[in-house]
């Protein structure tokens, strides 16, 4: 019997050691015998998250631990109820004053990329926030009520420098500092880092497809129709076939992009305005295709002018909404570099359209003058048979 107890004791130690190896946070002991039911080691920035979830009140008690923290650093942990990334984050921050070694812990709502992380209230009730520092470990303690009807949230954690006057500096924009975000389920205990996973890849595919479709091909198709038509006599119906091919390609790619967005909306937090614009675009484009294919009257038909007005209005409305939604999507993905690139593409297309518009008017004026001169010549010939 004694040997069995010893074997059980050794197996227990082995299991505990393996568990501690897999989750180092489980071996950490808080002062004052504070215990947390769940803990997870985060993938980057030497960080761990501990929490207790109280289902009856939807309250969470959290401890965020950042190891290897210097005296001149600030740390932050935040949840983002609206999107992934920094903007919209509801943050808990702490830093150590280098002059008197005092700790300051507070909350801050991050509304933009250049936010100063000033103290302010959050979008949900906060019951307490405090911090401790020992041997390079900065620990943020917070108790708050989760946003209504959700336990799965995006979260962000970060560190940055603190100046001598106590001003919080910008964190690094490379390496682990741009990988420190993910999702957390306070009920199941599942924590996932999103950098490089399938959701991020799907978001990128969604952005690329819709950027090419609504943001580039649609405007190009309109430009081709508008300005190749001037050469109708020389090119025949070529402008029409090129326009139709370009817009058909844009529509097909747009449908695929919309399908990826619908999939993400069902499995992730939905960005209401961006999604609503996307649905509107699909409806307008589908209506445009149906009317163009099945209801297009002949050129000499008396209703052709109304069809033309409808085609132009719906077409340019679709292009305008498409470009706007591409910018909204770039903001959601927090891809500031791509925003500059796409803005450059739109400016180039606008400049090309302006140049072609000028050329078009010049050609129209020349054709009008030639027609007028020919008419005058015909009149003179008739007067002098």
The whole-angstrom separation of Cα 240 and Cα 69 is 65
Last residue in a domain, options 193, 225, 259:
193
pLDDT tens readout for residues 204-218:
889 999 999 999 999
Residue 287 confidence (pLDDT): 94
- For residue 148, is it within any domain? yes
Residue positions forming the annotated binding site for heme b: 206, 243, 274, 311
| Nearest to 318, CA basis, from 241, 247, 243 | 247
Tokens of 155: 């979260």
Annotated binding site: which residue ranges? 206, 243, 274, 311
Region 99-105: mean pLDDT is 77
Q: Confirm whether pTM is higher than 0.85.
A: no
Spell out the residues 6+ positions from residue 95 whose beta carbon is closer than 8 angstroms to its own.
73, 74, 75, 103, 104, 162, 166, 168
Asked whether 39 and 24 are in contact (CB, 8 A), the reply is no
Distance CA 9, CA 68 (A): 34
Report the CATH number at residue 272. 1.20.120.1770
| Co-location of 309 and 349 in the same domain | yes
The listed range with the strongest mean pLDDT (122-131, 160-169, 267-276, 315-324) is: 315-324
Q: 187: domain CATH number?
A: 2.60.40.10
Q: How far apart are CA 56 and CA 218, in angstroms?
A: 52
Which residues, other chains included, contact 79 with Cβ-Cβ below 8 Å and sequence gap of 6+?
89, 90, 153, 154, 155, 156, 184
In a domain, 254, yes or no: yes
Instruction: Specify the 3-state DSSP secondary structure of 60.
Output: strand
Q: Which of 150, 176, 193 is the last residue of a domain?
A: 193
44, two tokens: 């980057």
* Residue 137 half-sphere exposure toward CB, CA atoms < 13 A: 16
Q: H or E segment at 341?
A: helix 336-383
Domain total in the chain? 2
Same domain as 246, residue 164: no
**CA–CA dist 52, 36 (Å, integer):** 5
d(C-alpha 160, C-alpha 157), whole Å: 11
Q: Contact at 8 Å (CB) between 297 and 110?
A: no
Q: What is the pLDDT of residues 316-366, one digit of tens each?
A: 999 999 999 999 988 877 666 788 889 999 999 999 999 988 888 887 787
Confidence of residue 47 (pLDDT cuts 50, 70, 90): confident
Burial of residue 324 (CB within 10 Å: 0-12, 13-18, 19+) is middle
Q: Does the pLDDT value for residue 19 go beyond 50?
A: no
The span from the CA of 136 to the CA of 134, in Å, is 6
The answer to whether residue 3 scores a pLDDT higher than 50 is: no
Domain that holds residue 116: 19-193
Separation between Cα atoms, residue 165 and residue 95, nearest integer Å: 12
Dist CA 312 CA 291 (whole Å): 12
Q: What is the tens place of the pLDDT at every residue in 50-65?
A: 988 888 888 889 889 8
Q: DSSP 3-state assignment of 156?
A: strand
């Amino acid at each position: 019997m004694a040997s069995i107890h010893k074997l059980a004791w050794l197996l227990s130690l082995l299991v505990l050691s393996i568990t501690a190896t897999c989750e180092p946070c489980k071996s950490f002991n808080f002062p004052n015998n504070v215990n947390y039911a769940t803990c997870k080691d985060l993938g980057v920035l030497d960080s761990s998250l501990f929490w207790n979830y109280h289902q009856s009140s939807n309250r969470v008690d959290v401890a965020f631990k950042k190891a290897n923290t210097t005296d001149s650093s600030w740390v932050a942990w935040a949840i983002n109820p609206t999107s992934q990334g920094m903007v919209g984050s509801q943050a808990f921050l702490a830093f150590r004053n280098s002059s008197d070694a005092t700790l300051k812990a507070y909350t801050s709502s991050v509304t933009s990329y250049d936010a100063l992380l000033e103290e302010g209230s959050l979008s949900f009730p906060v019951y307490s926030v405090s911090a401790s520092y020992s041997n390079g470990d900065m620990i943020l303690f917070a108790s708050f009520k989760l946003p209504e009807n959700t336990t799965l949230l995006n979260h962000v954690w970060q560190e940055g420098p603190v100046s001598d006057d106590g001003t919080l500096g910008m964190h690094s924009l490379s390496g682990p500092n741009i990988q420190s975000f993910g999702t957390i389920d306070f009920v199941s205990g599942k924590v996932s880092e999103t950098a490089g996973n399938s959701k991020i890849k799907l978001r990128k595919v969604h952005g690329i497809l819709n950027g090419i479709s609504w943001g580039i091909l649609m405007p190009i198709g309109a430009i081709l129709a508008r300005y190749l038509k001037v050469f109708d006599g020389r090119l025949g119906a070529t402008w029409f076939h090129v326009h139709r091919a370009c817009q058909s390609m844009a529509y097909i790619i747009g449908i695929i992009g919309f399908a990826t967005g619908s999939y993400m909306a069902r499995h992730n937090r939905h960005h209401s305005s961006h999604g609503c614009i996307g649905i509107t675009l699909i409806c307008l484009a589908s209506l445009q295709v149906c009317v163009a294919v099945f209801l297009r009257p002949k050129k000499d038909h008396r209703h052709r002018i109304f069809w033309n007005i409808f085609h132009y209005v719906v077409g340019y409305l679709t292009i305008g909404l498409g470009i706007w939604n591409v910018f909204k999507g770039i903001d959601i993905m927090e891809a500031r570099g791509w925003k500059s690139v796409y803005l450059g593409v739109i400016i180039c297309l606008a400049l090309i359209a302006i140049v072609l518009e000028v050329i078009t008017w010049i050609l129209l004026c020349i054709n009008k003058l030639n027609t007028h001169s020919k008419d005058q010549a015909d009149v003179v010939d008739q007067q002098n048979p």
